[in-house]
Structure 1
Amino acid sequence: MEDLENEIKDLKEWKKIEKKLEKNFKFIDFVEAFGFVTKIALIAEKMNHHPDIKITYNSVEIELTTHDINGISRNDVTLARKIDELL
């Protein structure tokens, strides 16, 4: 569990809030934000690990949690890293 906590701390700009990892992303416009979310959807589907996503015009809010364990798992950390690699 300590290793997972260290991995979470190493994530850039992701916040651990209760039992979730959260991060907000800003883009030029809605099309760019939606394109980013589409890329996330393809990765999430391959991993069979789906984030909660909210799009508000040029802003994308991501929440990652593993519902099966009611908390943060390695899958969440892995997906967070893959999302950051898209930028």
Structure 2
Amino acid sequence: MAVLTDEQVDSAAKDLDGWERTDGALRRSVKFPAFLAGIDAVRRVAERAEAADHHPDIDIRWRTVTFALVTHSEGGITDKDVQMAREIDEIVGHPET
């Protein structure tokens, strides 16, 4: 699987909800209305990631969860990361709206 160029990643990120290319990964932070809502979202993302065998880095800070996607085996962001970002968007939606 080929690593996407910065331009390809930036173009794909335009169609994603709140994702940006930072430090070599696609990242999105989501603030949830309650701690347990964030934990539940992480569980649902983990189930989807396990099924896809493509796992995001996840950082939980009280009600804010940050997802970071990079295909470590390829050394950069690939189509697998963009697809997982779409799936995470589908799962978490807009929790603060």
Structure 2-normalised TM-score? 0.81
5+ residue gaps, structure 1: none
CA RMSD of aligned residues (A): 1.6
Point out which structure has higher relative CO (alpha carbons under 8 A, 6+ apart).
2
Task: Note if 1:49 corresponds to 2:54.
Answer: yes
3-state secondary structure, aligned to 1:10:
coil
CA deviation profile, 1:5-61 (whole Å, cap 9, x unmatched): 332332221010132000000011110000000000000001100000011111101
State, as a whole percentage, how many aligned pairs show the same letter: 36
Query: Partners of 1:18 and 1:28 in 2: how far apart?
Result: 27
Structure 1-normalised TM-score? 0.90
The count of residues paired between Structure 1 and Structure 2 equals: 87
Q: Identify the residue that residue 77 of structure 1 maps to in structure 2.
A: 82
Query: Partners of 1:11 and 1:45 in 2: how far apart?
Result: 21
